[in-house]
């Protein structure tokens, strides 16, 4: 799903037949998409770093710290007008920087917690992809990764340079994530920091400092051993290091016993090692902890089918269809084509 210019999105929204609920959701999105702004971060030598930002409070814009980290001056561009940031509140580890922008006009977007999302939910990314014009990308939530008190959102929304710091909206037009980074190796490897990380910082004016270069690395830029488990697991899975992935998952399950994701990761590792019975046991534990964990049901159906347990596979598919109909259709099609 590629990006679309904002004008094209408006035309599609206004012309397509919709239910009252869907029309209300799209109206909310159209209302708040203009609150996504362009960021120009200028270092001491005059070099530019372009990014995106979102108006989240009167005269306050959030963006990624990796956009502003070298900046001696930050300008916010909206409708061709530039306003300079007078201060910043940086949370470098979480890659979120809150800018104070006197004179900036625009409606703050409503913020919804990442916990309200589930796999398969429709989300829309809005940002200045390429640093030129604002563009939108439709997608769905693939997974949520628990870290630092909230859920980092993984989705299929395509974005690239310039969109960092932009908005991820839910289907009601509320801000659920800040477009942050992407991993190589898949169409579903786009990650957004949870917008609810901002909720306790919006009124913290005393902590705002002068705009200037920032020290430290973001959580996704750290050395491998210091990264969250889900990022380490993704790298090991991509490189097919199944034994190392199994060891990582075992440590992860001990540290987060009530989290479904480490058990899912364990199942992936066991499947790679050819230990299908162990993979199924891990998937059962995953779906027991979180009955809505759609990736777990999808992999369970596929693993049952590999074992020739077709009735069990169909039962897992039926459960998946109730949780995430789109993924169920995809898995069913994949299984029929094999």
Round to whole Å and give the CA distance between 7 and 27. 14
User: How confident is the model at residue 186, as a pLDDT?
Assistant: 61
* Cα–Cα distance for residue pair 102/88, rounded to 1 Å: 12
Q: Angle 3-160-192 (CA atoms, 0-180°, nearest 5)?
A: 95
Give the mean pLDDT per block of 10 residues along the chain (338 residues).
Answer: 47 45 60 90 94 97 97 94 96 98 95 95 90 84 95 93 94 94 79 97 94 96 95 94 98 95 98 98 98 96 96 96 93 84
**pLDDT score of 24:** 53
| Residue listed under structure tokens 């902590």 | 207
Say what the pLDDT of residue 185 is.
Answer: 67
Three-state DSSP class for residue 172: coil
Do 291 and 119 form a contact (C-beta atoms < 8 A)? no
211 exposure class (CB count in 10 Å sphere: 0-12, 13-18, 19+): buried
User: Which domains are present in the chain?
Assistant: 3-32+111-196 (2.40.10.10), 34-107+202-207 (2.40.10.10), 224-336 (1.25.40.10)
pTM of the predicted protein model? 0.90
Tokens, residue 164: 């960092």
- Rounded to whole angstroms, the Cα distance separating 140 from 29 reads 16
Per-residue pLDDT, 179? 97
CA dihedral 117, 122, 128, 130 (to 10 degrees): 110
**Phi, psi of 292, rounded to the nearest 5 degrees:** -95, 10
- Among 216, 173, 167, 201, smallest CA distance to 55 is for 167
**Rounded CA separation 181/145 (Å):** 14
Query: How many angstroms separate the CA atoms of 42 and 105, rounded?
Result: 22
* pLDDT at site 129: 84
In the sheet that holds 73-78, the strands lie side by side as: 81-84, 73-78, 36-42, 48-57, 60-63, 96-100, 87-91
Q: Which residue has the tokens 């099609």?
A: 333
């Amino acid at each position: 799903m590629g990006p679309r210019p904002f004008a094209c999105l408006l035309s599609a929204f206004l012309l397509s037949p919709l239910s009252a609920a869907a029309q209300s959701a799209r109206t909310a999105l159209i209302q708040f998409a203009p609150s996504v702004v362009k960021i120009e971060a200028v270092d001491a030598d005059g070099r530019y770093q372009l990014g995106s930002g979102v108006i989240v409070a009167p005269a306050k814009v959030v963006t990624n710290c990796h956009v502003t980290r070298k900046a001696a001056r930050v300008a916010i561009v909206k409708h061709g007008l530039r306003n300079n940031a007078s201060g910043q509140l940086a949370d470098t580890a979480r890659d979120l920087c809150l800018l104070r922008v006197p004179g900036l006009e625009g409606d703050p977007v409503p913020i919804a917690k990442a916990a309200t999302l589930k796999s398969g939910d429709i989300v829309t990314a809005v940002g200045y992809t390429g640093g030129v014009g604002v563009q939108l990308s439709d997608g769905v939530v693939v997974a949520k990764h628990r870290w630092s008190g909230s859920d980092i959102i993984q989705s299929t929304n395509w974005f690239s340079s310039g969109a960092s710091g932009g908005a991820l909206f839910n289907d009601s037009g509320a801000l659920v994530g800040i477009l942050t980074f992407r991993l190589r190796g898949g169409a579903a490897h786009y990650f957004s920091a949870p917008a609810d990380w901002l909720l306790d910082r919006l009124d913290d004016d005393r902590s705002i400092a002068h705009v200037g270069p920032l020290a430290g690395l973001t959580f996704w830029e750290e050395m491998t051993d210091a990264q969250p488990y889900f990022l380490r697991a993704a790298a090991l899975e991509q490189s097919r290091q199944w034994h190392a992935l199994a060891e990582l998952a075992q440590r992860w399950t001990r540290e987060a016993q009530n989290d479904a994701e480490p058990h899912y990761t364990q199942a992936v590792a066991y499947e790679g090692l050819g230990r299908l019975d162990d993979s199924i046991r891990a998937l059962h534990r995953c779906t027991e902890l979180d009955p809505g964990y759609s990736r777990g049901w999808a992999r369970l159906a596929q693993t049952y089918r590999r074992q020739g347990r077709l009735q069990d596979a169909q039962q897992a598919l039926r459960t998946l269809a109730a949780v995430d109909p789109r993924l169920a259709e995809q898995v069913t099609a994949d299984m029929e084509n094999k």
